[in-house]
Amino acid sequence: MKELFVGTGVALVTPFLTDKKIDYDSLERIIKFVDLPEINYLAIIGSTGESATLSWDEKIEILEFTKKKAPDQPILFGLGGNNTAQLLREISLINKYPIDGILSVTPYYNRPSQAGLISHYRQIADASDHPIILYNVPSRTGVNLESDTTLVLSEHPNIMGIKEASGDLKQCERIINAKSDNFLLLSGNDPHTLAILKLGGNGSISVLANYKPEMFGNMVRSYLNKEYQRALKYQNEMREYFDWMDLEGNPTSIKTALKTIHLCDKTVRSPLMEGSIDLENKFIKKESI
């Protein structure tokens, strides 16, 4: 099962119409756009997919639509929260759906202890019929899943990896040096992907891959195939894009990029705001070169 998530996963956006309803025509275009040999799976309903403003029914609709339009792509479904009991109820509902794994972000806002994080993740791993990938993104959640905690959780038979977006390469290195071969470490920050691969990581769940799937996927694939100079070439070609993704936040920046290549509008749901004309013009100018 873990081999499904080695390489590049696309952290898929959720396109919206101007009335804020889900734009399924655009979602289909994006799914087809990223359906390339360089892309290994789709990660849906995450922070890039604006999960915080989607209803449960909308999440299931997106899942069913994505499975229909990309039947051969492995699906990693975003399902996390800061109420363990509610999350267990949602896991009982998702158990019946044909997904390949659950990406579960650390509980946010209430800032549990490391012992609390261990208890939380063990409960959901015990309850889930699907394997769990931990998701550590302290810049969003306010809590860091420490390396020792990750290693304890890696011993659970239903926890198969972690998406590491702490930005702490030393922490990633400690996990990689002590984990078993069966536990995946995936980059959750696009600019750090090559550095994490050099430490021994297994791939990336990428935002930029919505917009540059071939280029980003080739960077990861090249490195995993030991074509190091080729991987570095792709990274250098994407450096400007990495910077622009940070300018107005995620998913505002990536949706702005996608608008310039006619894949979807840049509409987001409140409290997010759509990308600026200045940012849009950066992508337009770059594409015209």
For residue range 16-66, list pLDDT tens digits in order.
999 999 999 999 999 999 999 999 999 999 999 999 999 999 999 999 999
Long-range CB contacts (within 8 A, 24+) of 229-234: 231/194, 231/197, 232/194
Q: What's the mean per-residue pLDDT of the chain?
A: 97
Tokens of 192: 């750090």
DSSP 8-state code for residue 164: E
For residue range 194-204, list pLDDT tens digits in order.
999 999 999 99
Other Cβ atoms less than 10 A from the Cβ of 85: the count is 8
Which spans in the chain are helix H? 24-33, 56-69, 84-94, 114-127, 138-141, 147-153, 169-178, 193-199, 213-224, 228-247, 252-260, 277-288
Q: pLDDT band for position 2 (50/70/90)?
A: low
Q: List active site positions.
A: 135, 163
Residue 209 reports pLDDT greater than 90? yes
For residue range 51-63, list pLDDT tens digits in order.
999 999 999 999 9
Per-residue pLDDT averaged across 109-121, rounded?
Answer: 97
Architecture of domain 2-233 in CATH? Alpha-Beta Barrel (3.20)
For residue range 179-192, list pLDDT tens digits in order.
999 999 999 999 99
Q: What share of the chain is helix, strand, coil (3-state, %, to 5)?
A: 50, 15, 35
Helix axes 84-94, 114-127, angle to 10 degrees: 20
Residue ranges of domains in the chain? 2-233
- The residue count of the chain comes to 289
Beta bridge partners of 22: 16
Tokens of 153: 């959780």
